[in-house]
Structure 1
Amino acid sequence: MAGKPRVHEIAAELGVDSKIALAKLKELGEFVKSPSSTIEPPVARKLRAAIEADASLKPSADTTAAAKTGAAKPGAAKPGAAKPGATKSGAAKTGAAEDDAAKTGAATPAASRPGAPTPGPKPGPKPAPAPEQPAAAVDEAPAPQAAPAAATPGPAEAKPAEGGAPKPGAPRPGNNPFSSAQGMGQRPAGPRPGNNPFASAQGMGQRPSPTPGNIPRPQAPRPGAPRPGAPRPGSPRPGAPRGGQGGRPGGAPFQQRPGGPGRPGGAGGPGGAGGPGARPGGGFAGRPGGGGGRGRGPGGGTAGAFGKGGGKSKQRKSRRAKRQEFEMRSAPVVGGVNVTRGNGEIIRMRRGASIADFADKIETLTGYTVQPGTLVTILFNLGEMATATESLDEATFEVLGEELGYKIQMVSPEDEDKELLEGFGLDLEAELEAESEDDLEIRPPVVTVMGHVDHGKTRLLDAIRQTNVIDGEAGGITQHIGAYQVWTEHEGIERAITFIDTPGHEAFTAMRARGAQVTDLAILVVAADDGIMPQTVEALNHAQAANVPIVVAVNKVDKPDANPAKVRQQLTEYGLVAEEYGGDVLFVDVSARANTGIQELLDAVLLTADAGLDLTANPNKGARGVAIEAKLDKGRGSVATVLIQSGTLRIGDAIVAGTAYGRVRAMADENGEQVLEAYPSRPVQVQGLNSVPRAGDVFIVTEEDRMARQIAEKREAVERNAQLAKARKRISLEDFTRALEDGKVESLNLIIKGDVSGAVEALEESLLKIEVDDSVQLRIIHRGVGAITESDVNLATIDNAIIVGFNVRPDTKARERAQREGVDIRFYSVIYNAIDEIESSLKGMLKPEYEEIQSGVAEIREVFRSSKFGNIAGVIVRSGTITRNAKARVIRDGVVIADGLAIESLRRFKDDVTEVRTDYEAGIGLGKFNDIQIGDEIETTELVEKPRG
């Protein structure tokens, strides 16, 4: 079936009635309007599975129901066979038998129904044999097998037609929902061979309280409607045989139901029974297994001459409307719309997910289809405005989930990336668990040097490597992560140690945390003269959180004011107890400048690593590791410093690191020498990536370039959605209205470019931590690694942004374009200078704050009453200066009795003056305010702009 299937098409395909399909859809929670409605393919599959499951679970029930439906046929067929030319009396008798047989389940004779006309000649005892037949008919053959026996009375059916009576037969099968409560014995005639979509309204005159919508229309006769001049329903008609459903000429060809048996067994004479699947006596609806009418079981009903599912009747529409009203009434109303609520189920949402994703999750969890527009309406009523495809943050999803009865659990970035890799068949944790002891080999320890800024970490590494890195750092502080490998002799064996140098400045918290996560052991550098400092404690916490051993290097012991014992005492408060104090932490006194204690420190590192660490890795597989640092080199392109954690990295390998991918074109060590292979714990610089990865990104070697590219692209899409959700400003309806009234919110747009990704990340996080008033926003619209380009200037021009360059410069075109467009470009080499300047800029954008200060106080000595100017206060200025037009308030006995006044007139003697100073007398007029008394004080104030701190 191409496109979306319709309900009646699926019903016809499965051989069931459309009503069954609609009822089953309702059970499944799908609210479908009519059989001609289309449904989604997943819903169609669920419907097929449900109906097939019902059919397989209830075979015996269906067979029994079919047997009961046709049970009354023998009793009704006998009088038809004995008296082929039936008269009025015969017709009435047959009608009574049919009606009684149709009501076997209800046990209510048609004559006892209120409002039903009672046929005069209908004998009372006639219906008695009908109930006796079902017991004998249960063992009869199924409906299709009974067809040959009932196929002969066809020619006899033409005789009543020749007598001038309307064509006999049952009404159009399948359109009367009330057919189970009324039989055809009381109808004036059956419908014409064409099925009448309005036939269900014709028999409604026999209902106890027909509604106006069910009264038969007085139009020209339609197929199946009583002809003009016909007797009232239920009255006998001359020569009208009360044939069953099989009483149509030619065996009722129009009533052949797809998937159900036909009606070849209807008797042609009076009292002729319906077909095998028809109701006894010509009732409307066939039961399961029957083809008479729109049955509610498999095989019942028919497709109708007026289209699939039969024509529409007012009564059916009314019942459907009532049913839908009840269903919608039973569904809870949330935010003005009906939606199915949850019961506290947990829904896991990825970062940057949209309302459409949330709707899909609900449908997957509950099976109910939820339109994203419905959730948009609910969110709007909760005070949040969003589109169906807009990325939302965690707080918005939590509000929406709480309203709908679901618990929202946001997937962490780590789990999200793990699930993404599992989609490509890469499970790093399972890979590590599957490694055997035979695959593992000893690797060098990875050591991170941590500590407070300016405590000598980099100089200590310089002493270990016998180099001079610190002179290359701006401001004398490290602003990058450096990775090095050194060799030392320990117990007569040459062993390698990998060192990672981290910044100590407070802005580089993420770098220190990253260094602690990829390390085996940490060296905590503490200056002997300074002692414990804030970043020392922070570095200690990072190391303890990463559960790595710590070796303390007490540096600068050669200074006169050095106090190593004080350092040991202070660190005991943080759980680091030196060995000489009975603890298990090695403390080594060193001096990087004097180059003393260096070998002892290396020995302590190796002893600690050998004592408590399992330093092994599998080198015989594709490399796995971490990108420690990355930068964009003008000649070499993207260069990433990576630390191999397991496996071996070779030139030509396809790798992916975060959102960057490519093939390894070249590798170099920390000294710039080319490397062909990099084994575990080896830091190398890798060239060949298409972009600059972020510091801390995990890199893996893939089998082919295509897989690496697909992983990188999916990660980039996930990251983009997460950034959109993070950047989205949560705005309520009140805030939206206020923003329209007050104008847009002030914002400072920044573009950050740096030499390495770690520095850019640190600068961004530090800037976002700047606390200012809510009226000013700091927006980082773009960040990147490398020189400032013309595209950066174009972006700054469009968004009115400031470009911040950290250790980078613009190229010639970018500089010329910036001068032409007036774009402000700031250059920094020390991170805290950038933070301080941008913070000052943000505070300068704040709306000025004003504070009220007292400018003068005057005491009223006399009150002069004037018919022209009102009461005039004769005052003496006690302090400050009284100025004309200044704001004033009147104070009586320390209580303000009037505020918001103004000095409208100020005179000294007969002259108007602008101000009166302390100890001078003056006359003050306060406009229309006249409630002044002798002894009151007039205080004047002025608003002075307050600097924003």
Structure 2
Amino acid sequence: MVKVRIYELAKELDVSSKDLINTLAEEFGIEVKNHMSVIDEEDAELIKELYSDAENSPRKSDDESDILEHYEEIENINAEKGFKKKKNPRKGKGGEKSEDNENQDFPGGMIEIEETITVKEFAELLKKPANEVIKEIIFAGVMAGINQEIDFATAEKVANKFEVEVFLKEEEVGKVEEDTEIEEVDDNIEKRPPIVTVMGHVDHGKTSLLDVIKKTRVTDTEAGGITQHIGAYIATVNGEKITFLDTPGHEAFTSMRARGAQITDIVILVVAADDGIMPQTKEAISHCKAAGVPMIVAINKIDKVGANIDRVKQELTEHGLIAEDWGGDTICVPVSAHTEENIDTLLEMVVLTAEMLELKANSARNAKGTVVEAKLDKGRGPVATLLVQNGTLHIGDSIIVGTTYGRIRAMFDDKGNNIKSAGPSVPVEILGLSDVPQSGDRFIMVKDEKTARNRAEARKEKIRQDNFQKSHKISLEDLYSQIQEGKVKELSIIVKADVQGSAEALSQSLEKQSTDSVKVRVIHSAVGAITETDISLATASNAIVIGFNVRPDNNAAALADKESVDLKCYRVIYDAIEDVRSAMVGLLEPEYKEVVQGRTEIRQVYKISNVGTIAGCYVLDGKITRHSNIRLLRDGIVIVESTLASLKRFKDDAKEVAAGYECGLNIERFNDIREGDIIESYIIEEIKPQKL
């Protein structure tokens, strides 16, 4: 989009920059900082029309008065900044105009730079030899070579010596999100279909249930069912539409929420009547509660032998979900995907819940929504499935999606038919993006492709800058300082332990540490190793992960490091409680840090008399050293922590063995090792206490 500077527009309109700035604020509601600020060309045209209608006096023919006027404004700005008044370059001695400077153009005396700039670029902007500029920089107290960078303050001092005015380039990158997410006034809001996700444990009948709904309730279903083209579709119940999402399991559900994309209105939690609540069911419940999304429980497989609906309801109460017929507020519907029993009742409950939520949207406004899934097709290029959440999307619209952009060339509905527009809660597959976006990325419609491209580039730059100064998520080390600054009102914790008793005891003990200023809340508690799902939930909920007698797997540890999730593992329950309590009162001063060196898998076990048990191993990643501390893991559970009695490569002693090599080792005073066990090697590094 073309931009126009305030001083240029003021010059064209024959008014002072100050008057123009006031007019912009009063008549158009556009706030600008100074005469070097920029506005859109469209706004500039409107202002020209305003002045052409309001002005009766003829324009001046002499441009020199405008130049002098702008120069006086610059001098006033300098005076406010504390600069000395410069000589007017237009005048010679005695205030007369100098012939030498007669043709000097005033804007040439102003330059605009970023927060930092290289000396070479700065000299080019000043139109001065680099050696002269370097000399002035040294006089300003900064030693910098031609390819080194200087900051804005130094550049301002040096430019002042050359009688050139320096302005800081307006930061538009930070305004991208605000500009793109401006809400339009929704005067024509209307009812929209609910967006439903089906979640639950593996093999509890999620896919079968979705297949039945697709076969019986999809709009305009052809004989023999339909071919599903995208990961979402629309069903119709008594004239009411429902949008179902196929793809998001609880991992995708949480990763989308971590990016700020809350796309699901209702969750159908599928529980098998013959199996009850299982680990993935518990995870799904925790994720839904953390997201604040209403749940409808579908108790599936009621036609099977051994089905016990009451047992499922009893197990649900242990997780805070009490069925309506038991006096609670959780809708539970016994169904059978096999016999199609009560499918209609389940869908009616979804419609009823949607009515209670009063879901509204405005189809007349510009479209915005979320990416459900995306892929790169060899023949068609980047293909994205979008869920329109507000407004109406049309073919030919320009959109920005995360850090990618494009103009919609083609649009398909859930049955693969070409369509020209899509309203609220409608899933569509589109072509025309510049790149493949990520699931969970937000999309918005903008007026043209050039605007979309500029904003996408600005977002990329913002992400690049954020990576340099990444804001860390909450950790025990900085908890107290965040409490003092008022950033933390609730400390969310995820607890994983080796046995259920330990998980419950640790959860209850941690929640008892709540104070008037901070509430400690365990949002998920389970048995087993720390997994990627736990880290994803911690990322979305800004929680810390505490493991008791368990360790994270490779992928979980890598994800925790990438997402800056605070992950703590303990062997003594009181240490975990004490650390949380100490962090809350500002007494936690970590002095040592554990650094994991690598992981080694035991592939063969040899028993040798007078020596003990020798493990034939393969180093999976990192390394293992002779002096490493080690812990033996079996199914993610810590069996023992010890040191190595020996480490060998073939028959020779080895100081260390790197990833991809085999070795033999013997654990100090421990012989109960098995094939498939994992040995995690680590060292303890001393670190300086962090000031809180």
Q: TM-score, normalised by structure 1?
A: 0.33
Name which one, 1 or 2, has greater alpha-carbon Rg. Answer: 1
Q: Would you tell me which structure has more strand in proportion to its own residues?
A: 2
Report the TM-score, using the length of structure 2 for normalisation: 0.45
